Structure 1
Amino acid sequence: MFCIQLRAVCLLLALLLMMSACAGSPATVPTTIAPTVAPAAAPTAATPPTAAPAPTAPPAATEMPTSANAVLPAPLYVLDTGQIVRIERDGVTRKQITNEAPPAPDALAIVQFDVSPVDGTLVYLVQGIGTPPVLVRTDADGGNRATLLDSMPVAAPVIAPNGATMALRVFEDYERPGTYTPGLYLMPVAGGEPRLILADKPATDPSIEGGDGRGFEAVAWSPDGTKLLVHAFSLSVELCELAIVDVASGGIVYLAAPEPNLVAACTAAAWTLDSKAVYFSVANPGKGFNEPGIWRGDAMSGAATSVPIEPSDALLHMPFFAIDRLYAFVSSAPGENPVSSPAADPAELMALSYTMSSVPLTGGAFAALRSDAHQLYQALWASDGSGAVIFESSDPSAVRLLWLPTDGSPGVELYKGTDLYSVRWGKRSQKH
């Protein structure tokens, strides 16, 4: 049975996904991760409507005062209440560019999307009831809508750096078992048949310790387009770890953790620009937060080494971003790191504030890049290191989408809503 994602649980799922260091199999509904999050349990389905309205043309742009100078390094796309909204580089002009029909009242139409870094092409998934999600492609402005797939249970489209290929997860069709091989697939963005590169590993696979099987979902391409960072999640228990898949061969290596009871955490990690390594955190599956510290994993072998940072017990909010330095949000909470306390209150942990900071790629002391701190559950860094867009969650009645420059200049509120849960950069201007 194909479940749907409800408005009421959407934000909660996003919060839990970004804060949790482990997760289980996405049995039916995939995660909404940007650049990436861990798979989540499927939410409860809603009662289907008697007749869903057909999609109509997107509404006209909401014209707002524009600034003389661009605020953002590229246009920005955000999912708001199941529709994609484009925010222009001035930071104030925005337009809803999709108007897909939701599968049921109080349900979200679009649950996942990605944007081509080459030409801004969008791909997204529209939910259905009793039917697979529909994979759709449009131009950067939402025009030239085309259905790519409507017969396979797919999830998590992630477009390659060349803009020509996307990675997809195909999951088990429980209404027609054996119809498709669940696993990691590649598919042309222009359309065509998905091609399996790595099948899920059943519990009987001798390469899987513990006998609980593994499913695979792509979260980020390497910059050179030869590898995929994936979530390798248990098919039976609440466990998820990071792995790297070679696109050409389908070979997989798991990122090593420093101790037997720890795993490479399924929170967003960061590729190095040369595609040779990944920066990541580790987690104890029995805890709700990542352990302190940063690790650098070799993309070929999975072997990992600790990055020496100060303070060594700094609580870091994912994702990292690696360019000339390693960027992260660091907790401003005084005193003992709450992760180290056995009596840590999950609600207290989620209410922590974080400061935008950086550290040399080889390690050292974190330097604050801004004087302000924010409660956040998701961040999207600009590819040039000029700043990050965050989902700021201090107001319980609404989520704010903020642009925070790394040069310490004032932050800019880009958007505000109750159902904001995924964000992507559009195509960058050739002048920038």
Structure 2
Amino acid sequence: MTEQINQSEILFERAKKVLPGGISRNTIFKLPHPDYVEKGEGCIVTDINGKEYIDFANNMASLIHGHAHPVITRAIIEQVSKGTAFTMASEVEIEFAELLCSRVPGFEKIRFVNSGTEAVMAMIKSARAFTGKAKIAKVEGAYHGAYDYAEVSQTANPNNWGDEDKPNSVPVAVGTPEKALDDVIVIPYNNTKKALEILNQHQGEIAAVLLDPVSHRVGMVAAEDEFVEALYKWTREQQALLLFDEVITFRVGFGGAQQRYKVSPDLTAMGKMIGGGFPVGAFAGRSDVMSVLDPLQPKVLLPHSGTFSANPVTMVAGLTAMKLFDHKAIEKINLLALKTKVLISHSIEKVGIKACVTGEGAMLRVHFKSQAPTNYRQSFLNEDEAKALKIVLTHANEQGIMLINTCSMMLSTVMTINEIEKLVQVLEQGFELVAKQLPSFKRYR
């Protein structure tokens, strides 16, 4: 019998000749080669070798309705036939802005950009323009995209993160300017007392505090009410702004993750799933803050543009997707995620492994720890935990379950209990492999 040719291996050899490392984004890289896609439909992705996967990654949380949703696809095709991008505004960007602003009381004005990174970057720059101050504060370990100031500390580790009472501003990229590091104040997540102590050392200097309310990198646990309210109060007292990064978390509820809190951020960045499968970003908030962008003002404090910002294809796709993501759809997907969380927890108990599951809304993450972490340092993987993670991810991939590489899951509205049961079955098998290969992870010995 002739051995089947691995098309992914062939493509990777081609890719390495023209792409650094053979890829265009490091999140998909793995050895011996990345997987290459052929097509996606609903919650099923088929790779170039014909293998099918149930997709719990959904392009790093950017797809809320799965792949090639027929309603979204029809709307896109209709718009593409009219043109894709123009040196003109479009009516659909107004309609989409109206829809998003209607969902969140704090969204008085909104501006569209092309990625979550760009949204966070423009939001930070808006805060600086509005306050006239340069420094920002952010949570240790939180991911906010690939902007010098936003990415500080996102890859901090025990060798460089410093004292918990005063975390270091750790660069991601070699060559990051020292001035950028000096202008980013790092605070611990969900530790109100220590966060305020650090912030108070920089009174009068900070333009904004940046917060992801359910940070994936920090552990996919919600920011505590006390923590959020304290940051809000501090920014009021200091004439600073509170910024929310909801690029991932806007899927948590009808009005994003912020709807659970008593206080509202001054500005919010969005992206990923609001684009309906196309590159997108947006930031929204108070009219007076957003006026720094306004060309009708006597002086524009933050000149801002983007060639493909609010292009009609993205606007049509996003508008259609968000109309479909209504109260009924949100209730259904969040209930399915809650069921998933319970079933995974049962599997963990059944196998007797040291693990737990966290998450909010339709976002879940498995940690190879006995107790759920509440901050970045607690969620950081030691050497054995990293081995356990690799075992489970490798097994899941072999069994046709696509996960984010932190063992995180992002559900889509097209999923049913059938896909969930398959996920739980495969994860349980992975837990059993961990218990067998790494006996120290057995909870009961």
**TM-score, normalization: structure 1?**
0.28
Give the structure with the higher percent strand: 1
Larger RCO: 1 or 2 (CA < 8 Å, sep 6+): 2
**TM-score, normalization: structure 2?**
0.28
**Bigger radius of gyration, 1 or 2?**
2
Give the structure with the higher percent helix: 2
